[in-house]
Amino acid sequence: MPEIKSRPKWGKLDPAKQASAHLVCAERGAIDAVARAFAGRPEVIGKTILVHVAEGDAGAPASLAGVAYHPLPSRATALTAFRAHLGRAKMGTQLHLAGSEAFLNEASALAHGCGVVGDGLTTELCGDPARRVQCVHCKGMMDDVSASPVACRHCGVNLMVRDHYSRRLGAFMGVCVDAEAPGDLPAAASF
C-alpha cells in the first residue's frame, strides 16, 4: 500500500544560515535532534530561541550554549510559549519542530495557522509514533492515540484511525469502525 498523499512527511532539522532568526520547539529527548542540527554553528545558535518541553530544569545541553532557552513543563504550555514567541518573530525567522508524531501534528498545525509554509519550517520526528486524532463525528481531539481502533474519549464511538491527515487541524481522521456491524471491532493495531 503506497503512502497516502495527505500524510505529513517529516524530515530533518535544517537551520538555514541566511534566516534572520530561528525559533525551535522540541519535546523532551528530541532536544538531541536540535543539538545535532545546531551544535557547532555559533552564527545560528546566537539567534535561536529554544522552547523545550522538559522535565525539571536541567538547562540546555552544553552543545547548545548560547541559545535563548525556555523550559516548559508540558506540551500545552510549551506550545503556548512557542505561539507567543512566533507572534513577535521578525520576517525571515525560520521555525523548527522536533518531537513525537502527535507533537508534530499539533505544533505544525499551529505554525501552518500562522502562515508559515515551505522552507519556513523544518521538522524531525523523534520517538513516539502515536497520533493526534480528531473524531469526525463529535469533532473531539485526542492526543497520543497509539493504536486503531480506539474509542473516542469524547463521544465513545469506536473509531478507525485513517491515514487521511489534515494539516489545518493537525490531526488524523477517526471514523466509526463498527457502524455496519455494531460491536464488531477488528483487533487493535499499533502505529
Partner 1 sequence: MSLALDPGFFRQETFRDDFTFANSQEAIRRFPFPFDRDQYMYAVNIEQHMPGPEKHATHFPIDIDEHYVAEMADRERVLAEDPLRCQSLPHMITAEWDLLELLMTSMARDYPAWFALGREGDRWHWINRPMGIEEHFTFGDVATLPYGPMEYITRQCQGDFCLLDQRGDNLWLDSGIVTSQADWSLDFDLGMNFIEWHAPVPRAHDMGVFERALKFLLNLQLGRPIRRLNWTMTINPRLDTSPENYHRWGIDRTTVTPDNVGDKVHLRVELQALWRLPRSNAIVFSIRCYLIKMREVATVPKWARRLHRVLRDLPDDLADYKGLTNYRGMTVDWLSRHDDGAPTSPGFYPD
C-alpha cell at 102: 502527535
C-alpha cell at 99: 518531537
What are the DSSP calls for 77-99, one per residue? HHHHHHHHHHHTPPTTEEEEEEE
Q: Supply the minimum distance, in Å, between the C-beta of residue 37 and partner 1.
A: 27
- Closer Cβ to partner 1, 72 or 176, answer by number: 176
Stretch that binds partner 1, among 62-70, 71-79, 91-99, 177-185 (CB under 8 A): 177-185
Q: Given candidates 26, 34, 157, 161, which one binds partner 1 under the rule CB under 8 A?
A: 157
Greatest Cα pair distance, the chain, in angstroms, is 60
Stretch that binds partner 1, among 33-41, 92-100, 160-168, 183-191 (CB under 8 A): 160-168
Q: Given candidates 63, 128, 153, 166, which one binds partner 1 under the rule CB under 8 A?
A: 166
SS3 100: coil
- Closer Cβ to partner 1, 6 or 80, answer by number: 6
Q: Tell me how crowded residue 16 is: count the other CB atoms within 10 A of its CB.
A: 12
- Closer Cβ to partner 1, 48 or 134, answer by number: 134
What 8-state DSSP symbol labels residue 184? Answer: -
C-alpha cell at 124: 524531525
- Asked if 63 is part of the footprint of partner 1 (rule: CB under 8 A), the reply reads no
Q: Given candidates 134, 145, 161, 170, which one binds partner 1 under the rule CB under 8 A?
A: 134
Measured CA to CA, the distance from residue 12 to residue 9 in angstroms comes to: 10
- Asked if 185 is part of the footprint of partner 1 (rule: CB under 8 A), the reply reads no
- Give every strand in the sheet of 171-176, ordered side by side: 141-145, 131-135, 171-176, 158-166, 150-151
C-alpha cell at 185: 471491532
- Asked if 154 is part of the footprint of partner 1 (rule: CB under 8 A), the reply reads no
- Asked if 181 is part of the footprint of partner 1 (rule: CB under 8 A), the reply reads yes
- Asked if 65 is part of the footprint of partner 1 (rule: CB under 8 A), the reply reads no
Residues that bind partner 1 (CB under 8 A): 2, 4-7, 134, 136-137, 139, 157, 162-169, 173, 175-176, 179-182
